Structure 1
Amino acid sequence: MPLISQILTVILFTCLSFTARGEKLRIVTEPWAPYVYEENGKALGLDYETTAIVFKRLGIEVQWQFLPWKRCLSMLEQGQADGALDIFHSDERDATLLYPSEPLSQVQFVMFYANDRPHPFQSLEALRGLTIGTSPGYLYNTDFSESTLFTREPAPSHEANFGKLLRGRIDLLITDRRVGQHLLDELGIRDKITENPLIISEQNQYLAVRRNAGMDLLVQRFGAELKRFKREPAYAELSARYGAGPAVEVPASSVTTAHGKTVEQQESGAR
């Protein structure tokens, strides 16, 4: 068989193997509106809908599970899931995960404070002695994660963090800008909470899959189709619906800190 025919055969088998064997690609993710979430039993979100469209074009059926992020990472490590949606890239994860060349979106971590107890700031040094609400399984960057100036206090959900902020149990919380703005409307607290404009860190989000036989070809086709779809009017409409612009690629293993410098991203348990 000519080499080109062999390659095409392998690609075809990779893309059809799940459905041909009556299997589905098992993808895990955490609700992370407006990127991915459930509403009235229906999965929605910019990155979810984009991914679903790309997989449909590739002829791949997907089984989705929405779980806490630490559980998602555990399932990946134990081989109980084939991939994860909206995961950060790191050199450390390259040993077990494959990433498409094209990111789905970009996260910008900022902080929010209650209007009754305002804490506007322009550097992390201004947070001395304060308590910052965080999310389990997330690390943001070295400066924030290792600072001894303030206390980090996790909450079981993003909604719980905003509740603690309103009750004065924490001084600020950190989350993605779009996620925070979405929750302000969903929880009806836009008049009670303010976003501090300083970006603490930023990072691209991807769909990543475990390093199994043939998955490298699947990832290549996914990345190519994703890039093609993002050039279409349908993607522009989808982005506008969720208040997001096109993903802007940033260095895969680094983030921009509140000190204006670039550092390596710590990924032990990070999104």
Structure 2
Amino acid sequence: MPALLKLLTAALFTCLSLAAYGEKLRIVTEPWAPYVYDDHGTMRGLDYETTVTVFQRLGVDVEWQFLPWKRCLAMLDQGNADGALDIFHSHDRDTLLLYPSEPLSEVEFVLYYANERPHPAQTLEDLHNLTVGTSPGYLYGSPFADSTLFHREPAPSHEANFGKLLLGRIDLVITDRRVGQHVLKEMGLEDKVSQAPVVVSRQQQFLAVRRGAGMDLLVQRFAAELKRFKQEPAYAALSAKYGGFQANTASGHTVEQQESSAP
């Protein structure tokens, strides 16, 4: 009985909290295919569809908005959004955000270069005096962020970064392996761009919410239901649907993208 009472109390506080926010949880995110993206007016993606399923099971209504990532972060800071999908855990944000104990997925940041101007980097030291295209607001890990060996040049989108790469305006592009392969496929550049061997960093992605009344309980319930869903055949099918990309590496061999979501 005490355990059941605790669960009911948690659900009650969560509902009261959401009611205070207008009955819908306002979640912002940037298109980050194949994790979350707009497919001709229909939202899709591994992490998006997983999150929708979990919130449906919790009885929580969600209002979604796609924005550039820096604006997503600004809306969280200003209190104009209740949470963000596919955000990395940063201790600098701990005073603002709550993170579930269970991540949605894990990204693997790698580098891509134009085949006409190959830079098959094995380590970050191989990037000496090169320029790497980045995305504003993204966290690539301290070794990459703190290095003074190379230059960083931001672009408003992943497509813009790869466009600059082909024009020779930058030497490499950094992005998640699955995201990179998805963008290259959509742009028809699979035969013009290759992946360098170096893995810059691996980071977990979360659904994080702003701190507030009842939100800590919502995060706990979300984590428990997410962990439960990941053990089901429905999640395995969803994971396979969005995890089967292949990457052209500097060695010329094909490396199959393995699903790297946390169990």
Q: Same fold (TM over 0.5)?
A: yes
Conserved in 2, the CA contact under 8 Å of 1:239 and 1:246? no
Q: How far, CA to CA, are the matches of 1:25 and 1:156 in structure 2?
A: 27
Is 2:248 the counterpart of 1:248? no
1:141 maps to what in 2? 141
**Which deviates further from its counterpart, 3-12 or 153-162?**
3-12
The size of the alignment, in residue pairs, is 248
Q: CA distance change for structure 1 residues 90 and 236 in 2, over 3 Å: closer, same or farther?
A: same
Other-structure match for 2:248? none
What residue in structure 1 maps to residue 10 of structure 2?
Answer: 11
- 1:98 alignment partner in structure 2: 98
User: How far did 1:8 drift?
Assistant: 4.1
Deviation at 1:20, TM superposition (A): 9.2
1:199-253: CA deviation from partner (whole Å, max 9, x where unpaired)? 101110000111100111111110000000000000000000001625238xxxx
The one-letter amino acid paired with 1:14 is: F
Aligned counterparts of 1:206 and 1:145: Cα–Cα separation in 2: 21
Distance 1:110 1:5 in 2: 46
Q: Rate the CA distance shift 1:199–1:238 in 2: closer, same or farther, 3 A.
A: same
- Contact preservation (8 Å) 1:15, 1:59: no
Moved more, 81-90 or 19-28: 19-28
Could you tell me which residue of structure 1 aligns to residue 166 of structure 2? Answer: 166
Match of 2:94, SS state, is helix
Which shifted more, 126-135 or 46-55?
126-135
Q: Distance in 2 between matches of 1:20 and 1:124?
A: 48
Q: Is the 8 A contact 1:108 1:203 kept in 2?
A: yes
Asked if 1:122 corresponds to 2:122, the answer is yes
- The whole-number CA distance in structure 1 between the counterparts of 2:148 and 2:7 is 55
Partners of 2:163 and 2:169 in 1: CA distance? 9
Q: Distance in 2 between matches of 1:77 and 1:20?
A: 19
2:91 maps to amino acid: D
Q: TM-score, normalised by structure 1?
A: 0.87
CA deviations on 1:154-173 (whole Å, 9 max, x unpaired) are: 00100000000011111101
Match of 2:80, SS state, is: coil
Partner of 1:66 in structure 2?
A: 66
Cα 1:20–1:126 change in 2 (3 A) is closer
CA RMSD of aligned residues (A): 1.8
Question: 1:23, 1:97 → 2: CA distance?
Answer: 20
Deviates more, 1:117-126 or 1:89-98: 89-98
1:21 is displaced (CA, Å) by 7.8
Could you tell me which runs of 5 or more consecutive residues in structure 2 were left unpaired when the two chains were aligned.
Answer: 244-257
* Partners of 2:110 and 2:198 within 8 A in 1: yes
Cα distance in structure 2, aligned partners of 1:95 and 1:22: 23
Residue identity (%): 67
Distance apart, 1:13 and its partner CA: 1.9
State the alpha-carbon separation in 2 of the partners of residues 78 and 23 from structure 1: 20
Identify the residue that residue 215 of structure 2 maps to in structure 1.
215
Please say if 1:26 is aligned against 2:40: no
Summarize deviations over 1:131-167 as a string: whole Å, max 9, x none.
1100011131222122222110000100000000011
Question: Alpha-carbon deviations, 1:15-50, whole Å to 9, x = none?
Answer: 434369852000010100000010111110000000
| SS class of match (1:77) | helix
Q: What is the CA distance between 1:77 and its match in structure 2?
A: 0.9
Say if 1:134 and 1:154, in contact at 8 Å, map to a contact too: yes
TM-score (norm 2): 0.89
**Is the Cα–Cα contact under 8 Å of residues 107 and 205 in structure 1 kept in the other structure?**
yes
Amino acid in the other structure paired with 2:6: I
